[in-house]
Structure 1
Amino acid sequence: MIQSTYSVVPTSRLEALSQLPNVLEPGHFDVLYEPSIGEDVCIADQKCKRCEARIFDKCATTETQWVCAFCNTYNDLSEKPISVSYTSSMEGNTGISPVLVVVDLNCDDSSELKALHSVLSQSLHQLSATEFGLITIIGNGDVTIHLTSGPMTFSSDDSTIVTKAQKLDWEHFEKKLPDKSVLWQSAENLVGILGTLNSVKRSSGQRHIRATGLALFLAALYANSGTHLPVISFLQGPCTIGPGKVVPKKLKHHIRQHYDLDSNKDKYFKPAKSFYEALAKRIYMHTFISSLDQVGVVEMMPLCSSAIQFDSYGEDRFATAFRSQAQDIVQVSKVTVNVSKGILVDGCFGKVTKLSATQQIYSDTPCGVSGTNCWALNTSKPSLSFSLRVDTAATKASSIDTIPGHLAIQFQYEYQKGKERYVKVDTLIVATTNHEMSTPTSIQDSFNAHVGLVCLMKQIAFEQAAKGRIHSFDQETWRYKVDALAASHYKLKSKGLNEFLEYLFRLKWTALLQKRNTSPDEAALFQLLVLVGTASLCELLCKPHVLIFANGQKLQVTNLDEHLLHVREAICVDGGNFVVVRYTSVSENADIATSYANSIVNTRCPPPIFKKTPVGGSQDRFFVSSLIPQGGLNTEDISLQDYLDLIRKMSLDV
């Protein structure tokens, strides 16, 4: 799926600046890309010999040749696709990377390790990898690598080991380690070793002595040159010793909060963040956390491709999450963008790595991961936002001879399934204002509010999660930019204006732009969820989906206001990362609402937290604050109507 914020783009600079508002750069537009895998007919792979774009149904053809829509080169024709979206099989394969598993044994409850062992014994074989490595974090600050020849332990009490790891002295450790081949073993052997290990309890008045940073450093030693090694980590608390330390061992010292990061008072934050940024050049990590307390996710964010918190590994939600992500953990894929002459690529917003460009079609106003048209990513279900710029002419008259009525944007998503490689090709055709059916308001009339919201959320999340711009001042700057964007759309009377303004109103009260009632780790997890989540999930994170269950029927609610507080029937609220069922009394409708909520938890990845509360119950305040961020309802925020009045006044000055 490719969707653009505008289906009509400008051709002159005046049109671009006056009719194409953008939160980052006026005159630019955004495209959302979410490829659908396995839904299209597979045809022969036909790539342009000049620009490497691929054929699609709108390309001109003869009996034996097809003309590239991007560079007008003639190429040999094997088979013409019947749509703008299709899949082709590719030659060769990239091989399947081994997976390194890091297990934190520090836990006061031995049942946690047993629950983890149970899930891994049932689900680890579902990964496409055939070789696994195991590193365990032990309670006295030791880290053990479980080799086929026997365990090898590194102690955080050894100052040489800690110093060399902090300085990223790879050669020192490579001399000590045996050949990489003795690390890898089968899933059955790994589960067998894990079954023989015991959890480690902490001393009274202290946190566990946990050397998470050292464990991940040792994991990074096993990455092959030029590649990123996938790591699955199962953590139960923060790093308290060695490189990557985020909090002291003694419980009297508290882990950093938002005000500590804003005032630059936490002495562990910057060294830990820099350390994990260096490791991110060698490994990427899928993290499962068995603790609702902070464990240092903010510091580890450069490493994390995904991160999910649980109250316990014994939760059904953990087993569901691991099974649903199993196929995604070792996926290494690539996305390439080709565009018509007249469009330039600003950059990509997502958990991606820059690759060498296949074409110099990137702009001089970079944003996101920029300076290329090709990126690597570690997921089989990407949801990426791209910023593009139309290379407009100085005047409308001069654009007629240089910019056609239609432009094309093509995405090529290369992935591996089993031992076979495929490429998913999706092409989007956008009209320009030089099209014969264009009108003076064609640009704003083609605005897509849903895509505009999702791309904006991913841009904000990228700045926070990837660039580390999480200071309160950064959030205030974004809130001002959001209001300015709303005012510009209000002045233009863009299509779907009322819906878009409500989205922006609600966006300002999410964890992207508010620190209230969240910890730094909670905010980081929210940012990561937005950055890698689907468009539908991002919309739910901004504006929850509400259903009322009455008389055996379910009714959707669009106006989320204080009237919902007085509804006596059962209500199910789907907020993307949480699902709440609210009811006045136990009834058949409440049971139906609960069943519906459970179906969401069991099918969504990652599975949301499920809460069930009677009216006035302990979780009812959570229901109110999540659903209705308006004045007089447990908050000091302005109402939607007050916000619309504010935007109307701001639009007079745009």
Structure 2
Amino acid sequence: MAAPELAQTEPEGIEGVRMTWLNWPRSKVEASKCVIPIATSIQPIRPHVDLQILPYAPLRCKTCSAVLNPFCRVDFTAMIWICPFCFQRNHFPQHYNSISQTNLPAELYPNFPSVEYLIPNYQNSQNFNQSSPIYLFILDTCMIEEELEFAKSSLKRALGMLPENAMVGFISYGTQVQVHELGFSEMSKVYVFRGSKDISKDQVLEQLGLSVSGGRRPGPGMHKGGGGGGPSPVAGAGPGINRFLLPASECEYTLDSLLDELSTDQWPIAPGNRALRCTGVALSVGSGLLSASMAGTGARIILLVGGPCTEGPGSIVSKDLSDPVRSHKDLDKDAAPFFKKAVHFYDELGKQLVNQGHVLDVFASALDQVGIAEMKVAIEKTGGLVVLSESFGHSVFKDSFKRIFEVGGEQSLGLAFNGTLEINCSKDIKVQGIIGPCTSLEKKGPSVASTVIGQGNTTAWKMCGLDKSTCLTIFFDVSSSEKSDPAGPSSQLYLQFLTSYQSSDGQMRLRVTTVTRRWAVGSEDLVQGFDQEVAAVIMARLASYKMEMEEGFDATRWSYDALSVFNNSPDETAYFRILLNRETISNAVVMIQPSLISYGFDSLPGPALLDVQSIAADRILLLDSYFSVVIFHGMTIAQWRNMGYQNQPENQGFAMLLQAPQEDSQLIIRDRFPVPRLVVCDQHGSQARFLLAKLNPSATYSNAQDMMHPGSDVIFTDDVSLQVFIEHLQRLAVQAS
């Protein structure tokens, strides 16, 4: 009974590339007439069963550094290949002597637009532990005891899932920051930093005894407790850092014991005040600590935060409970006194982490806001993950947190480190920039456009963290004049994406994806190659970017549903936008327009309109709105289920009907990160609002007599229905003409 519509098609193919226009406008004038920009979405390390893994170094063009690919012209007699980007003639090296038209290397196979190279000698030239990933956990202790226990439980489970060679560190914080030494299992040893004062990277290193010239004495502004001898130094760590970072196999017991003893923050809270929480200083200390690791080592700071920062840099609200946390209205009126200063702080922190090649992941679980809106800049710059939930005991947090530590198998996120993306283009194509989780490397060249969108002025970007679902949006411009001949020898255009990254097992890899498209001949040719799904997502991403960067930008003229901030806090808006900018096209489409599947006795499961008229007493609806999955039972179905009809042998069909949406919802949840909230509800029940909030109100209290169907429902709202909205647009269009 599973819905066939739920089976995901893969329009990206092995390339992992989708474009707004399959055929491109030939000139700048033609491109300017396109309302939808020329843009490409790419999943740089998307897994594919047909991907060829090559155990040797890539062959590069000596002029533009493009890699040998299926679109190169090859002279097998002279052993020469001609680069399609700069037309440079390159000689094949000696070890390619045996190639011929019947004996092609994998790079030249026409059905292999993507290949991946294992960078040779990488592991031989370095100790393996130098490339072992680092996980630095930072835990907020300003929570009620129940919440802290939930968080500690998830941390313990994560430690048991880490690879044995993964390096682990631990910092706890509340009003002050505690850096825990893990190298002394006999006696706990903690370095304490004041939470009210900003601290630089060099100060952190000096006070932890990790600076090049520093000894082991604590600096001013902190104290230490405990003592004892340390373990032998760990490969891959700078001088002394092995006191704070140890392989998971060596410190799991120590960390388990430490977590057992860890209690909620003991700093007294005055009546009418918020807890003093120094999230910003904790992250500064964590970033400073990781700066002592060897260059090129992949590392993740994993922050578990349970409330707003109120102490020191990065604060988002005052300590006084009578002062509310900033809202969208406050931000619009410039009435959020902490906001700009906090954003600047996290911007600088993000730059430091990018420079080190390290990632910031944030898991926020609270009923109030915690500062995701301010942290967004650092999360996106480093390619970090973010999950927002109500409690550390909720399945949204627990299941999502567990998934980042799963290695191998379908559930693995395929986390990678230290990625870079470079783009080679045909002569008349310029790169405007990227929207997504990356940072410009400011690599100038002839392919850099004068106009900038997102991270621009470059043809290379840094991705400290990326995974198999990471998706980037690249905007292009066409620079050729009107006089170009579309039927000439250069009727094809070429793009090459070079993604180097470090896999979780420490291997350095280079993914090379080369694609070709055709210059359009006339507007009809252009329209036939239009991809509306990609266009919808890219316009939503572009409008979201403009809303943040351009004052007075009118989002309602673009795509209201995808961009509305109504009824959302700034944290929720930032959270949704981070995911909109980094998720695959198919997932982003679901964020913009949820999918609705209907299940009944008389038909196979199939798509239904996102309208209140789709509700029927004898049907089950499955709504996927990306962040939540709702199974909605019609009134009659719910009554029969409550009476136990599904348990009777003669009602096997009813039992199967109940089971089908459950199975399909698990398929959705299994492959998604963050893990969505699952809501199972009945018509007229309190949780039915999760479905009704997403439906078009074609039947409301004002027109119920005209619109209602037997067994349907009414939405009590003053909102206009889609039909009324379209009729209004038609009237405006006629008047305008």
How many Å apart are 1:459 and its aligned residue? Answer: 2.2
Cα distance change on mapping 1:21 and 1:244 into 2, 3 Å: same
Q: Which of 570, 575, 581 is the matching residue for 1:525?
A: 575
Aligned to 1:89: 118
Aligned to 1:41: 52
2-structure distance, mates of 1:103, 1:321: 17
2:415–2:466: 8 Å Cα contact kept in structure 1?
Answer: yes
2-structure distance, mates of 1:303, 1:282: 9
How many Å apart are 1:365 and its aligned residue? Answer: 1.1
Query: Does 2:245 match 1:184?
Result: yes
Aligned to 1:155: 194
Aligned to 2:274: 207
Q: CA RMSD in A?
A: 2.8
Query: Does 2:514 match 1:447?
Result: no
Cα distance change on mapping 1:37 and 1:332 into 2, 3 Å: farther
How many Å apart are 1:556 and its aligned residue? Answer: 2.3
1:269–1:299: 8 Å Cα contact kept in structure 2?
Answer: yes
- Scaled by the length of structure 1, the TM-score of the pair is 0.84
1:626-637 matches, cutoff 5 A: 626-628=694-696, 632=700, 633-637=715-719
One-letter amino acid matched to 1:355 = L
Secondary structure of the structure 1 residue equivalent to 2:693: helix
1:11-70 deviation digits (Å, cap 9, x = unpaired): 23442233x213xxxxx4011111423530123522222212122222211333322111
Aligned to 1:364: 450
Q: Which of 392, 397, 407 is the matching residue for 2:480?
A: 392
Cα distance change on mapping 1:33 and 1:643 into 2, 3 Å: farther
2-structure distance, mates of 1:5, 1:452: 5
1:549–1:570: 8 Å Cα contact kept in structure 2?
Answer: yes
How many Å apart are 1:553 and its aligned residue? Answer: 6.2
Q: Which of 208, 213, 219 is the matching residue for 2:286?
A: 219
1:387-431 deviation digits (Å, cap 9, x = unpaired): 0011231x3x44458882110111122222213222222222111
1:133–1:190: 8 Å Cα contact kept in structure 2?
Answer: no
1:425-461 deviation digits (Å, cap 9, x = unpaired): 222211113xxxx454111221110111121222234
Aligned to 1:143: 177
1-structure distance, mates of 2:461, 2:519: 27
Larger Rg: 2
Aligned to 1:321: 400
1:487-498 matches, cutoff 5 A: none
Secondary structure of the structure 2 residue equivalent to 1:407: strand
1-structure distance, mates of 2:86, 2:64: 7
1:442-497 deviation digits (Å, cap 9, x = unpaired): 11221110111121222234445xx566x7x44xx1222x2xxxxxxxxxxxxxxx
Aligned to 1:17: 32
Aligned to 1:122: 157
Aligned to 1:109: 145
1:476-487 matches, cutoff 5 A: 477-480=554-557, 482=558
One-letter amino acid matched to 1:98 = I
2:615–2:621: 8 Å Cα contact kept in structure 1?
Answer: no
Quick check: 599-608 or 315-324, which moved more?
Answer: 315-324
1:25-424 matches, cutoff 5 A: 28-35=37-44, 36-37=46-47, 39=49, 40-43=51-54, 44=56, 45-63=58-76, 64-77=79-92, 78=96, 79=105, 80-82=107-109, 83-91=112-120, 92=122, 95-110=131-146, 112-124=147-159, 126-127=161-162, 130-138=166-174, 141-147=175-181, 148=183, 150-156=189-195, 162-163=196-197, 165=198, 169-179=200-210, 181=241, 182-187=243-248, 188=252, 189-200=254-265, 203=269, 205-224=272-291, 230-283=300-353, 284-304=359-379, 305-326=384-405, 331-357=417-443, 359-377=445-463, 378-381=465-468, 382-393=470-481, 395=482, 397-400=483-486, 404-417=490-503, 418-424=505-511
Secondary structure of the structure 2 residue equivalent to 1:143: strand
2-structure distance, mates of 1:49, 1:315: 55
Query: Does 2:542 match 1:459?
Result: yes
How many Å apart are 1:595 and its aligned residue? Answer: 3.6
Quick check: 223-232 or 620-629, which moved more?
Answer: 223-232
1-structure distance, mates of 2:697, 2:387: 26
2-structure distance, mates of 1:376, 1:631: 50
Cα distance change on mapping 1:398 and 1:540 into 2, 3 Å: closer
Quick check: 120-129 or 311-320, which moved more?
Answer: 120-129
Quick check: 92-101 or 532-541, which moved more?
Answer: 92-101
Secondary structure of the structure 2 residue equivalent to 1:221: helix
1-structure distance, mates of 2:154, 2:592: 32
Aligned to 2:648: none
How many Å apart are 1:307 and its aligned residue? Answer: 1.4
1:103–1:233: 8 Å Cα contact kept in structure 2?
Answer: yes
One-letter amino acid matched to 2:141 = L
How many Å apart are 1:609 and its aligned residue? Answer: 1.2
Secondary structure of the structure 2 residue equivalent to 1:366: coil
One-letter amino acid matched to 1:362 = V
Aligned to 1:614: 682
1-structure distance, mates of 2:194, 2:565: 38
Cα distance change on mapping 1:574 and 1:439 into 2, 3 Å: same
2-structure distance, mates of 1:251, 1:106: 15
Secondary structure of the structure 2 residue equivalent to 1:351: coil
1:287-319 deviation digits (Å, cap 9, x = unpaired): 112223211111111222221122332334333
How many Å apart are 1:76 and its aligned residue? Answer: 4.1
One-letter amino acid matched to 1:61 = V
How many Å apart are 1:366 and its aligned residue? Answer: 1.3
2-structure distance, mates of 1:426, 1:351: 19
2-structure distance, mates of 1:146, 1:328: 29
Aligned to 2:692: 624
One-letter amino acid matched to 2:140 = D
Secondary structure of the structure 2 residue equivalent to 1:308: strand
2-structure distance, mates of 1:415, 1:652: 56
2-structure distance, mates of 1:331, 1:232: 14
Cα distance change on mapping 1:562 and 1:48 into 2, 3 Å: same
2-structure distance, mates of 1:398, 1:286: 48
How many Å apart are 1:571 and its aligned residue? Answer: 0.6
2-structure distance, mates of 1:431, 1:651: 37
Cα distance change on mapping 1:554 and 1:288 into 2, 3 Å: farther
1-structure distance, mates of 2:612, 2:631: 17
How many Å apart are 1:563 and its aligned residue? Answer: 1.2
One-letter amino acid matched to 2:192 = T
How many aligned residue pairs are there?
A: 598
2-structure distance, mates of 1:37, 1:359: 30
One-letter amino acid matched to 1:177 = L
Cα distance change on mapping 1:427 and 1:358 into 2, 3 Å: farther
1:222–1:229: 8 Å Cα contact kept in structure 2?
Answer: no
2:698–2:721: 8 Å Cα contact kept in structure 1?
Answer: yes
Unpaired runs of 5+ in structure 2? 1-15, 97-104, 124-129, 211-239, 354-358, 406-412, 642-654, 701-714
